[in-house]
Amino acid sequence: MIVITLGILLLIIISLGLIESHFHRLALAQLPIRIHVNGSRGKSSVTRLIAAGLRAGGLKTLAKTTGTAPRIIDENGKDRIIHRLRSASIGEQVRLLRNFAKKKPDAVVIECMAVNPQYQWV
């Protein structure tokens, strides 16, 4: 009985993961230009500069930095602080990309959330 229950739970978890993956890929398909900024120092500054350059070039650009405080930079270049209810996670990036896709930008610039080295593996 326990084996059947565990098997069913495993199938549910795998199914939910596949569904989330599907919706994530749909969101990515709606973001024609995606730039991921990685490195050890200066990621927030580089993210801001790239986003500003793309905006100056006439592209509707959204950006996200994770420096001292996580921020979203909208299509007008305005900063909005993200108030987290929990610690940083990859799920935050997935939800953010889904929200960005709804705004139909030409480009998205996102800083790597290198708060944990494993986050760079994805």
pLDDT digits (tens, 9 = 90+) for 11-47: 999 999 999 999 989 988 999 999 999 887 889 999 9
What is the rounded average pLDDT for all residues in the chain?
89
pTM as predicted: 0.79
DSSP secondary structure code for residue 118 in this structure: G
In degrees rounded to 5, what are phi and psi of residue 67? -55, -125
Residues whose CB is less than 8 angstroms from the CB of residue 35 and which lie 6 or more positions away in sequence, other chains included: 50, 107, 108, 109, 110
Give whole-number Cα distances, 63 to 8, 11, 35, 47, 72, in Å: 40, 36, 9, 7, 6
Q: Where are the domains of the chain?
A: 31-120
CATH of domain 31-120: 3.40.1190.10
